[in-house]
Structure 1
Amino acid sequence: MFRVLAVVPVLLAGLAAPAAALDNGLAETPPMGWNDWNAFGCSVDQQLVEQTADTLVSTGMRDAGYQYVNIDDCWALPDRDVNGNLVADPQKFPDGIAKLADYVHARGLKLGIYEDSGTRTCSKSGGFPGSLGHEQQDARLFADWHVDYLKYDDCNVPADGQNVDATIARYKAMRDALTGHGIVFSICEKTDFGVPNSAWPTVGNLWRTTGDIHDNYARMVSLFHTNVTLPDLAGPDHWNDPDMLEVGNGGMSDVEYRSHFALWAEMAAPLIVGTDVRTMSAATKEILTNREIIAVDQDPLGAQGRPVSSANGLWVLTKPLVDGSRAVTLFNETDAPATITTTAGQVGLGKAFDYEVRDLFAHTTSESAGRITAALPAHASAMYRISPSRRLAQPHVVVGLSAVDTSSVTATVTNDGLLPAVWNQLHLTLPAGWSARPSHDELIPVVPPGASRSVTYRLIPPAVDTPLPTEQFTISLNGRQSFTEDLHRPTPVQAPLKTFAAVDSTTRPQFGQLGSRLAVIAAGSDVSGTNNQYGAIYLPQGLDTTGTATVQVLSQQNRNAATKSGLIARDDLSKADSSAGYVTLEVTPSKGIQLQWDADGNGQLESSRTVAGVTAPVGLRLVRDGTAFTGQYSVDGTTWSTVATITVPSATGTEDVGVFTTSHNKYVDGRADFGSFTVG
Structure 2
Amino acid sequence: MRHPHTRTSRRRVVGVLAVSLLALGTAAPSVAVAREQRSAPTEARGLALTPPMGFNNWNSTHCGPEFNESMVEGIADLFIEKGLKDAGYQYVNLDDCWALPARDANGRLVPDPVRFPHGIEAVADYVHAKGLKLGIYTSAGTKTCSSTGFPGALGHEENDARQFAEWGIDYLKYDNCNNQGADARQRYVTMRDALRDATGRTGRPIVYSICEWGDNKPWEWASGVGQLWRTTHDIQDKWSSMLSILKKNLPLAPYAGPGHWNDPDMLEVGNGGMTDTEYRTHFSMWSVMAAPLLIGSDLRKASPATLGILANKDVIAVDQDPLGKQGTVVSSEGGRWVVAKQMKDGSRAVALFNETDTPQHIATTARAVGLPQAPAYTLRDLWQHRNYNTAGAVSATVPAHGTVLVRVSPDRHWSKNPPAVELAADSAPLVVAGRPAALTSTVTDLGRTSAHDVSVSLTGPEGWTVRARSAPRAHAVPTGTTLTTRWAVTAPKGTPTGSYDLTLRTSYGSPAKVRATNTTTVTASVVVPPPAGTSYLGDLPWMSATNGYGPVERDTSNGESAAGDGRPITVGGVVYAKGLGTHAPSEVTYYTGKACTKVSADVGVDDEKGAKGTVSFEIWADGTKVASTGVLTNAMAAQPISADVTGAQVVRLVVTNGGDNTDSDHADWADARLTC
Structure 1 length-normalised TM: 0.72
- SS of the residue 1:489 aligns to: strand
CA distance in 2, matches of 1:432, 1:576: 51
Q: Corresponding residue for 1:591?
A: none
Is 1:415 the counterpart of 2:413? The answer is no
1:278-289 equivalences under 5 Å are 278-289=300-311
Aligned with residue 146 of structure 1, among 168, 187, 193:
168
Q: Corresponding residue for 2:523?
A: 486
Per-residue deviation at 1:143?
Answer: 0.9
CA distance in 1, matches of 2:232, 2:53: 18
Per-residue deviation at 1:62?
Answer: 0.9
Q: Corresponding residue for 1:37?
A: 58
CA distance in 1, matches of 2:467, 2:366: 38
Aligned with residue 405 of structure 1, among 423, 430, 435:
430
Mapped contact 1:524–1:534 kept (Cα < 8 A): no
Q: Corresponding residue for 2:552?
A: 534
CA distance in 2, matches of 1:199, 1:64: 32
Mapped contact 2:500–2:524 kept (Cα < 8 A): yes
CA distance in 2, matches of 1:349, 1:432: 46
CA distance in 2, matches of 1:333, 1:305: 17
Q: Corresponding residue for 1:448?
A: 478
From the superposition, tell whether residues 482 and 409 of structure 1 become closer, same or farther in structure 2 (CA, over 3 Å): same
Q: Which amino acid aligns with 1:82?
A: A
CA distance in 1, matches of 2:279, 2:257: 25
Moved more, 54-63 or 395-404: 395-404
Aligned with residue 100 of structure 2, among 77, 97, 106:
77
TM-superposition CA deviations, 1:623-646 (whole Å, max 9, x none): xxxxxxxxxxxxxxxxxxxxxxxx
Per-residue deviation at 1:287?
Answer: 0.5
- SS of the residue 1:389 aligns to: coil
CA distance in 2, matches of 1:366, 1:577: 63
Moved more, 95-104 or 403-412: 403-412
- Write 1 or 2 for the structure with the bigger share of helix: 2
CA distance in 1, matches of 2:400, 2:303: 22
Q: Corresponding residue for 1:631?
A: none
CA distance in 2, matches of 1:207, 1:89: 28
Q: Corresponding residue for 1:310?
A: 332
Q: Corresponding residue for 2:362?
A: 340
Structure 1 runs, 4 residues or longer, greater than 6 Å off: 18-22, 492-497
Q: Corresponding residue for 2:118?
A: 95
Q: Corresponding residue for 1:469?
A: 498
CA distance in 1, matches of 2:305, 2:364: 29
**Residue-pair matches, total:** 524
Q: Corresponding residue for 2:563?
A: 565
1:484-563 equivalences under 5 Å are 484-491=521-528, 498-500=536-538, 511-512=540-541, 521-526=545-550, 534-536=552-554, 563=561
CA distance in 2, matches of 1:254, 1:350: 35
CA distance in 1, matches of 2:566, 2:284: 42
- SS of the residue 2:73 aligns to: helix
TM-superposition CA deviations, 1:393-431 (whole Å, max 9, x none): 211112011222331111111111111111222121213
TM-superposition CA deviations, 1:171-215 (whole Å, max 9, x none): 5444544544301101111133x3442111111011101111111
- SS of the residue 1:564 aligns to: coil
Is 1:26 the counterpart of 2:47? The answer is yes
CA distance in 1, matches of 2:76, 2:487: 51
Per-residue deviation at 1:563?
Answer: 4.5
Q: Corresponding residue for 2:269?
A: 247
Aligned with residue 402 of structure 2, among 363, 366, 380:
380
Q: Corresponding residue for 2:219?
A: 197
From the superposition, tell whether residues 79 and 164 of structure 1 become closer, same or farther in structure 2 (CA, over 3 Å): closer
Q: Which amino acid aligns with 2:420?
A: H
CA distance in 2, matches of 1:581, 1:167: 54
Is 1:353 the counterpart of 2:375? The answer is yes
Mapped contact 1:38–1:275 kept (Cα < 8 A): yes
Per-residue deviation at 1:432?
Answer: 3.4
- SS of the residue 2:300 aligns to: coil
Mapped contact 2:192–2:208 kept (Cα < 8 A): no
Per-residue deviation at 1:322?
Answer: 1.3
1:428-447 equivalences under 5 Å are 428-447=458-477
From the superposition, tell whether residues 575 and 435 of structure 1 become closer, same or farther in structure 2 (CA, over 3 Å): farther
Q: Which amino acid aligns with 1:419?
A: T
TM-superposition CA deviations, 1:95-142 (whole Å, max 9, x none): 0000011111111111100011100000023x1000011111011101
Mapped contact 2:189–2:225 kept (Cα < 8 A): no
CA distance in 2, matches of 1:577, 1:241: 45
Q: Corresponding residue for 1:47?
A: 70
Aligned with residue 351 of structure 2, among 329, 338, 343:
329
Q: Which amino acid aligns with 1:431?
A: P
Moved more, 430-439 or 249-258: 430-439
Q: Corresponding residue for 2:9?
A: none
CA distance in 2, matches of 1:307, 1:440: 39
From the superposition, tell whether residues 178 and 185 of structure 1 become closer, same or farther in structure 2 (CA, over 3 Å): farther
Mapped contact 1:511–1:537 kept (Cα < 8 A): no
Is 1:110 the counterpart of 2:110? The answer is no
Mapped contact 2:377–2:389 kept (Cα < 8 A): yes
- SS of the residue 1:108 aligns to: coil
Per-residue deviation at 1:388?
Answer: 0.8
CA distance in 2, matches of 1:50, 1:360: 31
Q: Corresponding residue for 1:556?
A: none
- SS of the residue 1:565 aligns to: coil
Identity level (%): 43
Structure 1 unaligned blocks of 5 or more: 1-17, 501-509, 514-518, 527-532, 539-559, 583-601, 607-664, 668-680
Per-residue deviation at 1:535?
Answer: 2.1
1:268-283 equivalences under 5 Å are 268-283=290-305
Per-residue deviation at 1:321?
Answer: 1.2
Mapped contact 1:168–1:199 kept (Cα < 8 A): no
From the superposition, tell whether residues 534 and 412 of structure 1 become closer, same or farther in structure 2 (CA, over 3 Å): same
Mapped contact 1:308–1:318 kept (Cα < 8 A): yes
Structure 2 unaligned blocks of 5 or more: 1-19, 23-38, 432-436, 508-515, 579-605, 611-660, 664-676
- Quote the RMSD (CA, aligned, Å): 3.0
CA distance in 2, matches of 1:186, 1:267: 17
